[in-house]
Each structure stands twice: as C-alpha cells, then as structure tokens.
Structure 1
Amino acid sequence: MSYVAPSDFVTKMIDAGEAKVFMSTRDTLIRAYMAGAILALAAAFAITVSVQTGEPLAGAILFPVGFCLLYLMGFDLLTGVFTLVPLALLDKRPGVTLNGVLRNWGLVFVGNFAGAFTVAVMMAIIVTFGFTQAPDAVGTKIGAIGEGRTVGYAAHGAAGMLTLFIRGVLCNWMVSTGVVAAMMSTSVSGKVIGMWMPIMLFFYMGFEHSIVNMFLFPSGLLLGGNFSIMDYLVWNEIPTVIGNLVGGLTFVGLTLYATHGRTAPKRSPAKDSRSATGERVPAE
C-alpha cells in the first residue's frame, strides 16, 4: 500500500489528463463505452441488493466494486475526465488545446451513454422476461427512481433545479476524490481502499452521477416510468452533467493543482514574525 505524496500524484493527474487528450478516437470510445457499461451493471447490482435485502446501505457498500474494476482496467468516465483533462491545459502541456479537451469530453460522453444504454436495455429484458410481463420488484424500483429524480425535482421548480445541481456537484466531488485516491497508492489493495469510501458515500447519499443516470433513466423509460425523455434531459441529465463538471474540477482538480502542482511562494519568517503585542520581531 505504498503511499504516493500529493506533489507526486498531482503530477500523475496532469500526465493522465494529457494522455487522454491525445488518445485516439477509437480507444477513447471503447474505454468510455466499457466504463459506462460496467458502472451501469454496478448500479443494477446495488439496486438489486437493496431491493432484496430491504437495506439501501448494503447496496451502497457493494456499488463501488464496479467503479474499482473500471478504473483498474483503464476505462474512462465523464466525471473523471472532467477533473483530469483540464489540468493538462492549465499546465500548458505542449499540444493540449481547449478543442482537444472538449473533443475528449464529447467522445467520453457518447461512449459512456452507449455503454450505459446497452446495459439498460439488457436489464429491461431481464426484469420483464423479454417484455412479456410487468417489471419485477427490481424493475419497479428502477422506474420509481426515474420518476422521483425527474418530475420529483420539477415539482419544486427553481428550488428543485438548485437541489439537483448541488447533488451533481457533491457527487463528482466524491467521485473525483475516488479517482485521485487511486493515485495515492502503487498497490491494487491501496487503490481499492482509497476509491471505496467516497464512491460508497455518493451512492448512499443519493447524489446525482451523470453516467449512473444514463442507465437509470433510460431503464425507467423502458420499464414504463411516468416521465418523458424531455423530463430526463431537462430535469436530470443536463443539470447533473454541469454539476458534475463544477464539482470535480473546482473541489478536486483545481484545488489540488493550485496547492500541490503550482504552489504559491513560501512566506518569509522575517516578514511575518511578530511579538505577542503585534510588533514585528527582527529575524535572527
């Protein structure tokens, strides 16, 4: 569980962001597709556990297994690239441009959605026996989540939109903390332990994760949830994506970069030494 110091893992964050900017379109899409699919399976697993045990905490405790697997296999989530890729631009890495950053984000979004939607269709088939009967308990729960997290927010108007956005911010604050925590160790066990806590926290607290929602809401629509595609986009996915961007980049990427990647000049003891009365004390 060898520990990596902050100044070193921040350099790894910037290197990772740079690598993602220059990754080929094919590899970016494949890695994003698999990340979306694995995270969707983890969400389906967690919901199944919660429904069958009647204990939401059990599902939250087990959900991070999907995140850990996709990270260890080198797949990419939109929430992660929101945090890492801009750092390469801020660090002025050669060849990294704003267009390159936006290209990466766009490709990862498409890949994540395709992967999550694939699993959504598969799970809808499973919980309805190929759409030949009403959804089972797990399918009914997924449909209820879709309604509660779209029309449920809409019922509160602007306050609902603000709540949705803040949940998106808090979500990627935790998810990106998990991404960074994996860089704090050079061992598999250390990486998994570092990732587990913040991912479990976001899931149990009901924060809004744009990729998990790419599975939940299409699933809900396929299973007869009482909301529309427009409800999903306006009252969940779009505000969640914006909140995830703000949360991950502001509270994780920029803060770590500012204080460990580009630290401010150290203060001079001679200038700041003062006596108890507030008078300056000459430096010795």
Structure 2
Amino acid sequence: MSYVTPPDFARKMIDAGESKVFMSTRDTLIRAYMAGAILALAAAFAVTVTVNTGEPLIGALLFPVGFCMLYLLGFDLLTGVFTLVPLALLDKRSGVTMKGLWRNWGLVFCGNFAGAFTVAVFMAIIVTFGFSEAPNAVGEKIGHIGEGRTLGYAAHGAAGMLTLFVRAVMCNWMVSTGVVAAMMSTSVSGKIMAMWMPILVFFYMGFEHSIVNMFLFPAGILLGGQFTWLDYLFWNEIPTVLGNLVGGLTFVGAMIYATHYKTSSPRTRDAGLHHDDNAATVPAE
C-alpha cells in the first residue's frame, strides 16, 4: 500500500529536518532559489487565471500545481524548514544545533527571496512590454494586492498587525500540513492529492505566505504600486515570517511530534475495570 502511517511519517519528518541541517551551502541555496521561483510562477499563474476568468476560486484551485512541482523536485521553502528542522533539534539528533538551524533558515530565506524576486522582475517586464507601457490588467492586479496587504493593514494599526500575524499563522498551518501530507504516500499521485487540498485552502482564504509575498510585493512596487519597501517589510514580510514560523512549528510539527513520535503511555484496561468494580460495591441508599 502507498499509505504511510502517522508514526512512520513522523520519523520521516525528523529525518528530513536533520538532512537539511547538514546540506551544503551550495545545494541549500540552489534548492531554495528554485523553490522561490517556482512558487512565484504559480502565484503569477493564479493571479492571471483570476483576472482572466473573474473567479478567484479557479485561480486558487490551480495554484497548488507550483507547490507540488517544487516539492516533488526536492526544493525547499522557508515555511517547510520552519516545521521540519526544529524537530531534529528537539529529538537531539547528533550534530544538530541552534547554529545549524539558524544557518539553514537564513540560507533558505535568501534563496527563496532571490528566486521569487527574479520572477517578479521577469513578470514586471512581461506585463509592461519591457517597461515601455503601463501594466496590463494582470500587472494592475498585482500592484493592488500589494497596496491592500500593506497599507490596508497599516490603516488598522495594532488590529491590522494582529490580523496579519494570525493570517500568517493560519497560512503555515495549512502549508506545513501540505508538506507533511506528501509524506503520507509513497506514490506520486498520492503525494499530489494530499498536498493539493491544504494549499488550496490557504490560497483561497487569503492567508499570508512569506515566499508568495516575496514575489507579489516586489513585483507590485516595480509595477507602480502605491506602497514602499518599508511598508512591505514592516506591514507584511517580517510579521508574516514570524507568523509562518509559529503556525508551522506549533500546529503541525510539534503536534505530530508529540502525539505520533513521543506518544504518551496508553491507559490500561485494568485501571478502568478496577474503577468499575469499586463503583459496584457502593451500597445503595
């Protein structure tokens, strides 16, 4: 059977986290770069579909193709390593340290940003004919997304920041579930089906994904969006990264580790029977 049981894929999660800590700098950067680029292409594709059809659900239904491609190719997203790498540290794998964890996260962040920014530049060129004319409908849509999800949050002050953070938490709850879901099957079709569902949920619900935003917001600035790099970093990227970390590690990694890898001792049948016997001996009044 292609199904992998929870205790087995929990072990695979920890093994994957350990392997990423010891991966070479070159390979880590290349895999992160390609992951950022492919996810950015998927985001551009989804926005294009939404603009052309007028139906956001269709764009959301098709967006997971990028996530499935990058995962099957063995590339790494920051949101994924946020969930997997700490488990190897928690499990006290030999040689896994906080320094190694921070090194991996830093390299993956840089690689993801470089890949997403490359696609942002390419898309800006495409939708403006090499910056020779105003952005087309897709370019205008990308610019407005950046405005609404920076200045829109800023207009609500602390409440906007809280909303942004919670959306980021919810995002990586779903995205990391997709990462883990791919480990539930040994077949390509099984992995794709398992990944598709949570990724669809996050995209359609408008949750905040740090790597998708590494494409949308720089592209929006390049296309004349009415917000700044400071707006992007303070009112989106930094809180989104922190929320993604909390969501993936807390609601996915730690939960699966606690209940499927470090399981508690089961209750014994004798304890329950003994309780019942005592209850039966209590005299009726």
Asked whether the two chains share a fold, i.e. TM above 0.5, the reply is: yes
Structure 1: distance between partners of 2:50 and 2:137: 11
Q: Specify the alignment match of 2:130 in structure 1.
A: 130
Q: Does the CA-based 8 Å contact 1:178-1:194 persist in structure 2?
A: yes
Is 1:275 matched with 2:276? yes
Q: Specify the alignment match of 1:40 in structure 2.
A: 40
User: Per-residue deviation at 1:280?
Assistant: 9.0
Secondary structure at the counterpart of residue 258 of structure 2: helix
Secondary structure at the counterpart of residue 3 of structure 1: coil
Structure 2: distance between partners of 1:183 and 1:280: 51
Identify the range of structure 1 (63-72 vs 272-281) with the bigger mean alpha-carbon deviation.
Answer: 272-281
Aligned-partner residue type, residue 162 of structure 2: L
Structure 1: distance between partners of 2:122 and 2:217: 14
Q: Does the CA-based 8 Å contact 1:151-1:235 persist in structure 2?
A: yes
Q: Does the CA-based 8 Å contact 1:272-1:280 persist in structure 2?
A: no
Alignment deviations for residues 98-117 of structure 1 (CA, whole Å, 9 cap, x no partner): 11011000000000000000
Unaligned runs of 5+ in 1: none
Alignment deviations for residues 209-251 of structure 1 (CA, whole Å, 9 cap, x no partner): 0000000000000000000111000000000000000000000
Q: Specify the alignment match of 2:85 in structure 1.
A: 85
User: Per-residue deviation at 1:271?
Assistant: 2.6
User: Per-residue deviation at 1:269?
Assistant: 2.4
Alignment deviations for residues 144-173 of structure 1 (CA, whole Å, 9 cap, x no partner): 000000000000000000000000000000
Q: Specify the alignment match of 2:222 in structure 1.
A: 222
Structure 1: distance between partners of 2:44 and 2:83: 26
Q: Specify the alignment match of 2:196 in structure 1.
A: 196
Aligned-partner residue type, residue 119 of structure 2: V
Q: Specify the alignment match of 1:104 in structure 2.
A: 104
Question: Following TM superposition, where does structure 1 have runs of at least 4 consecutive aligned residues deviating by more than 4 angstroms?
Answer: 276-281
Q: Specify the alignment match of 1:259 in structure 2.
A: 259
Q: Does the CA-based 8 Å contact 1:169-1:247 persist in structure 2?
A: yes
Is 1:72 matched with 2:66? no
Is 1:31 matched with 2:35? no
Secondary structure at the counterpart of residue 276 of structure 2: coil
Q: Specify the alignment match of 2:18 in structure 1.
A: 18
Secondary structure at the counterpart of residue 267 of structure 2: coil
Alignment deviations for residues 105-152 of structure 1 (CA, whole Å, 9 cap, x no partner): 000000000000000000000000000000000000000000000000
Q: 1:192 to 1:280 in 2, by over 3 A?
A: farther
Q: 1:155 to 1:26 in 2, by over 3 A?
A: same
Structure 2: distance between partners of 1:52 and 1:278: 69
Count the aligned residue pairs.
281
User: Per-residue deviation at 1:275?
Assistant: 2.9
Structure 2: distance between partners of 1:137 and 1:277: 75
Q: Does the CA-based 8 Å contact 1:36-1:113 persist in structure 2?
A: yes
User: Per-residue deviation at 1:278?
Assistant: 5.4
Q: 1:167 to 1:277 in 2, by over 3 A?
A: farther
Structure 2: distance between partners of 1:136 and 1:191: 36
Structure 1: distance between partners of 2:263 and 2:248: 20
Aligned-partner residue type, residue 54 of structure 1: G
Q: Specify the alignment match of 1:178 in structure 2.
A: 178
Q: Specify the alignment match of 1:114 in structure 2.
A: 114
User: Per-residue deviation at 1:266?
Assistant: 1.7
Alignment deviations for residues 166-212 of structure 1 (CA, whole Å, 9 cap, x no partner): 00000000000000000000000000000000001100000000000
User: Per-residue deviation at 1:59?
Assistant: 0.3
Aligned-partner residue type, residue 182 of structure 2: A
Aligned-partner residue type, residue 68 of structure 2: C
Q: Specify the alignment match of 1:157 in structure 2.
A: 157
TM-score (normalised: structure 2): 0.96
Aligned-partner residue type, residue 23 of structure 1: M
Aligned-partner residue type, residue 141 of structure 1: K
Unaligned runs of 5+ in 2: none
Aligned-partner residue type, residue 74 of structure 1: G
User: Per-residue deviation at 1:277?
Assistant: 8.7
Q: 1:280 to 1:258 in 2, by over 3 A?
A: farther
Two-structure CA RMSD over aligned residues (Å): 1.4
TM-score (normalised: structure 1): 0.97
